[in-house]
Amino acid sequence: MDDSAPLTRRRLLKSSAAAAGAVLAGVRPSWARAEEESAPRGKPPVIDCHAHLHHRSQSDYREKDRLLIEAADRLGIDRLCCSILTRKRPATVEGFRECNAWLVEAIKRFPGRVLGWCYVNPEHSKEAVEEIRRYVEEHGFVGVKLYNERVCTDPVVFPVVEASIDFRVPILHHAGHAHYPLPAQPNISDSGDLTQLGRRYPEARLICAHIGGGGDWEWSIKAMRHGANVLLDSSGSVVDEGMLEMAVETLGADRILFGCDMSMTAGVGKMRALDVSPADKAKILGGNFEQLLAMRSKR
């Protein structure tokens, strides 16, 4: 493939498919080598900020987890920030406690490869805050995962946000701005909600999940313009041309994080196609998340 030619949608899909084939063949794809060669010296590791390991109700959860880590390894992804979600939501206290305990065990299975998000349901404020304290302080989890149990501007969420500030960790929040009703997600937050929450809590670091997860990504990017402490993750299976370029132009490369959310080919393909400087791409691929990790050292 001629890398000097413009990267059209067709070429993106072809190159992404080739990367997926390389994973199956056990070969490190050329895009990963090229990124390493063009990035500034001393570049940070590639960190997927949005991933999930598998619930133990799946009999083959160990095999699925192993395949995910192997795919990440062959695609040049050094570390994955993972959570395990309950199968049904809203999550009970027992449910999210179980998932976080399983994640501790999974981190031990893949030393040096997995960073933990502490998943909680903010409806259970006291238990959620205690869970965050335990897993950040005792198990080294890197932040909090919130799903769609409550809109993030609901006051019931505020104790969880305040805990994240106290423990100097970010929140990765499920989000989307759909073109149509989502009856199964009546309490989904969007980037406007997260921006509003960020303005209430300027010390917080909030991550708006999966800009490519469906819905109106242009609206979502524009709504974040005045939320300096809200970052955007690149994950999701949508690979529309110009999506990430608009995000970088509107928000700046410092506010974009690389993520796949299990759509590995799409996640890598978007980074392969992203037309920004090597320095900005290095920030997105891992440098910006390392800045979030560094917050803990400032306690």
In a domain, 52, yes or no: yes
In a domain, 2, yes or no: no
Give 121-158 pLDDT, tens digit per residue: 999 999 999 999 999 999 999 999 999 999 999 999 99
In a domain, 4, yes or no: no
Predicted TM-score (pTM) of the model is 0.87
16 membership: H or E segment, kind and range: helix 9-25
Distance (Å, whole) CA 274 – CA 210: 16
- CATH classification of the domain holding 125: 3.20.20.140
In a domain, 13, yes or no: yes
The boundaries of the domain holding residue 24 are 9-298
Q: Is the confidence at residue 81, as pLDDT, over 60?
A: yes
In a domain, 254, yes or no: yes
In a domain, 19, yes or no: yes
Q: pLDDT value at position 6? A: 47
Structure tokens at 192: 């406007």
Distance from chain centroid for Cα 264: 12
Give 163-186 pLDDT, tens digit per residue: 999 999 999 999 999 988 889 899
Cis peptide bond upstream of 186, omega within 30: no
| Banded model confidence at residue 9, pLDDT cuts 50, 70, 90 | very low
**Number of domains observed in the structure of the chain:** 1
